[in-house]
């Protein structure tokens, strides 16, 4: 009653109340006919823009225009297919700290700028490509898996990939260090079984092809 009394003072009260009642009605109808195609109808007052929801067969009053719109619009064009594997060639993650839930196994990180990144203990990089990437001061908390990783032409200067302590050994089995720069890096205790060494700059600054090792390697030059 109070709202009706106020409507005599303000002629816009009743249209507003009617609008919201119409919205409530539409929601109720939508729930009843869920799954069916629904078209909404409304009469728009030309002088003030007031809208009132109506049925399909309603004739709008003087100074009103009937409008309608579907609940669901036409289907848009199909978007491009996404990549199944992570690839971030040329990305810059400088000084970032990566969470333990991130997965990097088998990804392509070639030509990237990844200096000063920190990865948690146990991160799995197996079968990942770091070809031509800058991994200077790259850090892994220990027990990280670098098996079958391609480090060809990668810069690993001052990287820290084995953690601290006897149990923090990195897995570098079958990793490819061709032309890689490991100068100043920490790889102590790592497993390098089957690793490929060719013109590699070793952690102590020597070169795998001239440091006297046979076959060529950086083993003993960490």
For residues 137 and 43, state if they share a domain: no
Report how far residue 148's alpha carbon sits from residue 171's, in angstroms, rounded to the nearest whole number: 9
With b for 16 or more beta-carbon neighbours within 10 A and e for fewer, the 6-28 pattern comes to eeeeeeeebeeeeeeebeeebee
Which is more confidently placed, 194 or 29? 194
For 196-208, what is the mean pLDDT? 94
Report how far residue 122's alpha carbon sits from residue 154's, in angstroms, rounded to the nearest whole number: 21
For residues 125 and 16, state if they share a domain: no
For residues 115 and 65, state if they share a domain: no
| Whether residue 193 has pLDDT greater than 50 | yes
For residues 93 and 161, state if they share a domain: yes
**Is the residue at 160 inside a domain?**
yes
**Is the residue at 25 inside a domain?**
yes
pLDDT digits 0-9 by tens, 171-185: 899 999 999 999 998
For residues 183 and 208, state if they share a domain: yes
Do 8 and 29 meet the contact criterion of CB atoms below 8 Å apart?
Answer: no
Q: Which of 13-22, 26-35, 66-75 has the highest mean pLDDT?
A: 66-75
pLDDT at 18: 63
Contacts of 23 (CB under 8 A, 6+ apart): 53
| Whether residue 13 has pLDDT greater than 60 | no
For residues 58 and 91, state if they share a domain: no
pLDDT at 21: 63
For 92-98, what is the mean pLDDT? 56
For residues 207 and 173, state if they share a domain: yes
For residues 24 and 51, state if they share a domain: yes
| Whether residue 99 has pLDDT greater than 50 | yes
| Whether residue 84 has pLDDT greater than 60 | no
With b for 16 or more beta-carbon neighbours within 10 A and e for fewer, the 49-64 pattern comes to ebbbbbeeeeebeeeb
For 145-160, what is the mean pLDDT? 92
Which is more confidently placed, 199 or 145? 199
**Is the residue at 76 inside a domain?**
no
Band of the pLDDT at 148, cuts 50, 70, 90? very high
**Is the residue at 80 inside a domain?**
no
| Whether residue 167 has pLDDT greater than 50 | no
**Is the residue at 63 inside a domain?**
yes
Listed residue (28, 58, 25, 32) closest to 44, CA to CA: 58
For 43-61, what is the mean pLDDT? 90
**pTM metric for this prediction:** 0.57
**Is the residue at 78 inside a domain?**
no
- What CATH number is given to the structural domain containing 157? 2.160.20
Q: How many domains does the chain have?
A: 2
For residues 119 and 207, state if they share a domain: yes
Mean pLDDT value across the chain: 78
Poorest-pLDDT segment among 16-25, 59-68, 135-144 = 16-25
**Is the residue at 28 inside a domain?**
yes
Instruction: Quote the domain boundaries for residue 101.
Output: 87-222
For residues 137 and 189, state if they share a domain: yes
Domain's final residue, options 70, 102, 124: 70
For residues 150 and 210, state if they share a domain: yes
Poorest-pLDDT segment among 76-85, 109-118, 151-160 = 76-85
For residues 12 and 58, state if they share a domain: yes
Domain's final residue, options 43, 70, 97: 70
**Is the residue at 138 inside a domain?**
yes
């Amino acid at each position: 009653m109070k709202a009706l009394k106020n409507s005599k003072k303000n002629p816009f009260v009743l249209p507003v109340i009617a609008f919201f009642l119409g919205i409530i009605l539409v929601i109720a109808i939508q729930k009843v006919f869920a799954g069916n195609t629904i078209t909404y109808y409304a009469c728009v007052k030309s002088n003030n823009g007031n809208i009132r929801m109506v049925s399909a067969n309603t004739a709008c009053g003087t100074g009103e225009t009937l409008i309608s719109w579907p609940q669901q619009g036409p289907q848009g064009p199909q978007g491009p297919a996404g990549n199944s594997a992570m690839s971030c060639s040329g990305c810059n993650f400088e000084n970032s700290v990566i969470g333990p839930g991130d997965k990097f196994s088998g990804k392509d990180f070639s030509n990237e700028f990844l200096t000063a990144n920190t990865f948690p203990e146990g991160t799995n990089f197996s079968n990942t490509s770091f070809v031509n990437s800058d991994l200077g001061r790259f850090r892994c908390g220990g027990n990280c898996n670098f098996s079958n990783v391609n480090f060809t032409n990668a810069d690993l200067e001052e990287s820290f990939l084995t953690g601290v302590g006897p149990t923090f050994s990195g897995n570098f089995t079958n990793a490819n260090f061709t032309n890689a720069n490991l100068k100043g890096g920490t790889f102590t205790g790592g497993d390098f079984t089957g690793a490929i060494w060719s013109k590699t700059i070793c952690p102590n600054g020597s070169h795998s092809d001239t440091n006297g090792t046979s076959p060529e390697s950086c083993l003993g030059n960490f």
